[in-house]
């Protein structure tokens, strides 16, 4: 009896086989009382397929696979008794024109450590999950948008490394349980976003050129070690987001490119199927089996590995047929324009499916253009993502922060513009790995001035980001003001924390994150004008911004005052919405953050004195680059 049944073939052909990862690939089974492994492969245009591996001495003709009926489906199958976990294997595909291709298993759950390229047999079904409380609570979430989300973006291979080891010294998934989880908890992040988990051959791609869409990378351990890491994150009330790359794949010989001698996974027309800039292949989103391959991968991460969200990389490159291409390098759609209609339908399908089946999980788009309704519902022709990275805010914010404070008054609008479109999508404000590589400088070295000025600038920027509507993402190292640009080849410069300025920065970010988690006004109404109000958005001459964040019940409100010049304003007066007492809850000038530590009153009573167009106001001594946050 075949492992891959008639029903499996039907569902796969319709792109609706949602647990395809349990059928294609290598899976333990028992046939007529004999234990072994079933191998199933989709290769419709192959002439013959052989299974080669460590178990047969890589003998190229010892184990020919059988093509199941109907032959047109192109499923090859073989059962081999007595195999154990960890055995390495590949498929030898003979093409119709006589070529011999040595391919890794597209559906493998584990792979040989690079530079090896073989797949490895793994049993991913036996891990005992103990995160049921987290998963139940996630399901009950009435409104994901009303929850706090402060994401720590992590590249596991370069967060920390073991010194003096013969290998690269990578922290394993289990090491990350010991060291990363406590750090994230202590700092006050709510989520970890992991870069480069789906198996990939080249370290320098950071995991964005994937060959193993169903396998956590072997760089840091086995699949069950990865599952253990997720399980422990959940037990510590930390959500986990994975980068996921359905936009393109590399041309490595063992990978998906021209898999069975034809363009099986990619569009056949190179104008559709290749990225000239990236040297990669583009998935054929019109082919059901390819769509099912991608949908099955996403569902495996979310449903099998309990991942709380997928951050979908390079969405714009999928939506636009002419992305990164010159005239003549792309093909118009049937309406004569540049939209990839098949990719649009793919997003609507997969987002609706994943969010519908996994209440409380999120799908996040890294979409860098003004494409409308990325997070809008399908009924309104939206793509139905949960969130979109706010790249517009990020570019404006960095443009402003890089300026000498003297010139900021002429660019005041750069920090206010994002609020004009804030309600159009559900946004995440991001300062990601992309902003600290390729000669863009570290966050600290983007800042103007010298020495302490740089730190004060960055502290002010982080506070503004925290107060601004939108969920938050900071890349690792930014929380303590890493000096060097990030490189995947070395760990972060943790020794910098011996320097008081860097330690103060870390303490400042920690204080901001804990303030964020404890105060619903900072996250409940992110995409809604009910949760935000400018006090003064037009104080360009002094480069000071003041605004209020409000909670749903009106009982938890905060006033932010941010000074983006080194000029102190000892007589600063701020207008306020109500005649209340305003309690100072965060002051960048405090000694614990490296400030002057001058004692200030904690409470400030608003008086009837017109300021900023308000009837009531109070005075506060605002230091140079001063940040003051008040609760009322």
Buried b (16+ CB within 10 A) or exposed e, 62-95: ebebebbeeeebbbbbbbbeebeeebbbbbbbbb
Tokens of 144: 């994901």
Q: Which residues are catalytic?
A: 313, 366
Residue 363's H or E segment, with its range, is strand 362-365
Tokens of 358: 């996994």
Taking Cα atoms as reference points, which of 410, 537, 553, 402 lies closest to residue 467?
537
Q: In what order do the strands lie in the sheet with 25-31?
A: 25-31, 34-42, 75-81, 66-67
Tokens of 407: 């010139």
Phi and psi at 187, nearest 5°, equal -70, -30
Taking Cα atoms as reference points, which of 418, 316, 435 lies closest to residue 367?
316
> In sequence order, what E strands does 476-626 have?
532-536, 544-549, 558-563, 573-576, 581-587, 603-605, 607-611, 614-619
DSSP 580-597: -EEEEEEETTSGGGTS--
Q: What is the dihedral of CA 224, 225, 226, 231, to 10 degrees?
A: 90
Distances (CA, A) of 439 to 76, 148, 404, 484, 550: 48, 33, 20, 10, 39
Q: Which class for 512: exposed (0-12), middle (13-18), buried (19 or more C-beta within 10 A)?
A: buried
Q: Are strands 387-389 and 427-431 parallel, antiparallel or unpaired?
A: parallel
Q: Which class for 570: exposed (0-12), middle (13-18), buried (19 or more C-beta within 10 A)?
A: exposed
Tokens of 503: 């330690």
Tokens of 3: 């492992």
Reduced to 3 states (helix: H, G, I; strand: E, B; else coil), residue 533 is strand
Contacts of 405 (CB under 8 A, 6+ apart): 448, 449, 457, 543, 564, 565, 566
Strand partners, 366: none
Contacts of 68 (CB under 8 A, 6+ apart): 2, 4, 9, 75, 76, 77
Give rounded-to-5 percent helix, strand, coil for the chain. Answer: 30, 25, 45
Taking Cα atoms as reference points, which of 483, 507, 485, 486 lies closest to residue 495?
483
Sign, CA torsion 6/12/16/20: positive
Contacts of 259 (CB under 8 A, 6+ apart): 43, 93, 101, 103, 106, 265
């Amino acid at each position: 009896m075949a492992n891959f049944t008639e029903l499996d073939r039907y569902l796969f052909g319709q792109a609706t086989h949602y647990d395809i990862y349990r059928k294609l690939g290598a899976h333990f089974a028992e046939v007529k009382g004999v234990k072994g492994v079933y191998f199933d492969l989709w290769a419709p245009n192959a002439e013959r397929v052989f299974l080669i591996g460590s178990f047969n001495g890589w003998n190229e003709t010892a184990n020919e696979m059988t093509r199941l009926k109907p032959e047109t489906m192109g499923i090859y199958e073989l059962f081999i008794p007595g195999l154990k976990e960890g055995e390495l294997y590949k498929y030898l595909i003979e093409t119709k024109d006589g070529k011999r291709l040595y391919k890794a298993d597209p559906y493998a759950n584990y792979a040989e450590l690079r530079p090896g390229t073989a797949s490895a047999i793994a049993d991913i079904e036996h891990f005992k999950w103990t995160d049921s409380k987290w998963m139940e609570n996630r399901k009950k979430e009435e409104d994901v948008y009303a929850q706090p989300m402060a994401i720590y973006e992590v590249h596991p291979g370069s967060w920390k490394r073991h010194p003096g080891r013969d290998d690269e010294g990578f922290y394993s998934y289990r090491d990350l349980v010991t060291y990363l989880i406590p750090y994230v908890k202590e700092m006050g992040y709510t989520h970890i976003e992991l870069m480069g988990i789906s198996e990939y051959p080249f370290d320098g791609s950071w995991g964005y050129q994937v060959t193993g869409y169903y396998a956590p990378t072997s760089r840091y351990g086995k699949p069950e070690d990865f599952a253990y890491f997720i399980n422990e994150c959940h037990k510590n009330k930390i959500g986990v987001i994975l980068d996921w790359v359905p936009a393109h794949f590399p041309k490595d010989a063992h990978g998906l490119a021209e898999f069975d001698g034809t363009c099986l996974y990619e569009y056949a027309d190179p104008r559709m199927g290749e990225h000239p800039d990236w040297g990669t292949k583009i998935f054929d989103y019109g082919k059901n089996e390819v769509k099912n391959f991608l949908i099955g991968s996403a569902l495996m991460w979310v449903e099998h590995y309990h991942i709380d969200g997928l951050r979908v990389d390079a969405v714009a490159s999928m939506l636009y047929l002419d992305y990164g291409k010159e005239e003549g390098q792309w093909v118009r759609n049937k309406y004569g324009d540049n939209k990839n209609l098949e990719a649009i339908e793919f997003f609507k399908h997969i987002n609706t499916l994943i969010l519908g089946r996994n209440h409380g999980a999120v799908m996040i788009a890294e979409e860098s253009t003004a494409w409308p309704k990325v997070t809008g519902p399908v009924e309104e022709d939206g793509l139905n993502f949960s969130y979109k990275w706010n790249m517009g805010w990020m570019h404006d914010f960095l443009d402003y922060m890089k300026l000498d404070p003297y010139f900021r008054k002429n660019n005041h609008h750069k920090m206010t513009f994002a609020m004009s479109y804030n309600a159009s999508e559900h946004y995440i404000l991001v300062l990601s790995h992309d902003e600290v590589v390729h000669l863009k400088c570290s966050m600290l070295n983007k800042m103007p001035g010298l020495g302490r000025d740089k730190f004060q600038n960055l502290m002010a920027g982080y506070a503004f980001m925290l107060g601004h509507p939108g969920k938050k993402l900071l890349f690792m190292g930014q929380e303590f003001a890493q000096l060097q640009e990030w490189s995947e080849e070395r760990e972060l410069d943790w020794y910098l924390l011996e320097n008081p300025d860097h330690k103060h920065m870390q303490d400042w970010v920690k204080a901001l994150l804990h303030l964020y988690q404890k105060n619903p006004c900072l996250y409940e109404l992110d995409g809604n004008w009910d949760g935000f109000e400018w006090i003064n958005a037009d104080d360009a001459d002094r480069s000071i911004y003041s605004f209020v964040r409000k909670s749903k019940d009106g009982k938890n409100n905060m006033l932010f005052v941010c000074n983006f010049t080194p000029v102190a304003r000892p007589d600063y007066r701020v207008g306020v919405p109500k005649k209340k007492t305003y309690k100072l809850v965060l002051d960048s000038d405090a000694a614990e953050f490296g400030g002057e530590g001058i004692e200030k009153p904690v409470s400030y009573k608003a008086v009837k004195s017109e300021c900023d167009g308000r009837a009531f106001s109070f005075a506060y001594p605002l230091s140079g680059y001063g940040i003051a946050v008040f609760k009322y």
